[in-house]
Structure 1
């Protein structure tokens, strides 16, 4: 009896805490950003941190300005269950946003995708989680609408 009550509590807690479902997974960037006099560098990997990981094709990482203009982008190809998509991008300009996008993300009823707001001149990535492409702070290429 106590075991079932405890399990029900954990399930309710997970639902109420906003934990993403494993339907589409939880897409995140793991790495670091650095700002120097010569520009900005982002080094790390895009991964799906959920246990049940579907395949996502055409994953791209974008560095965008505050108005959504593309500073740089890196097509990372396909994110599979057993892969980390390594990426290093160097630019002369510090972006406002680092955004991970794929048309496949938004075919899932439930998914969590991280985007990052660059702060402190490029040394801090402030993570935000979204469940819909309409929640991106700017229009993300190649889509004509958010």
Structure 2
């Protein structure tokens, strides 16, 4: 019997700290403390060569249950649809109007943080409602 493997989800982005802090707000994750000996991340970054400053950031589930999120700076922008995306499960167990209201409220909260509401997919005979969105750098995710 094989064991369950730990994993992290890695985001390629232009501004790792900005995107990481957005996802901390979305998921209730926490940003790491600055490295030992530094009061702030800015203090730490000032010790690095310019090309290494702000090259990565991370976010972790404070309960230790969810995967670590890692954000790394890459030179190219996103040019096509994500092949993998996160579904943020805010409507679990809800159906109909109650589910849609929960999704719309969370959508409004995230838009205020810089997310983009792409569209609302309303429930039909097969699926419940969900809301495709984009984070602060255009990475797709869904409110589900």
* TM value normalised by structure 1: 0.27
Larger fraction in helix? 2
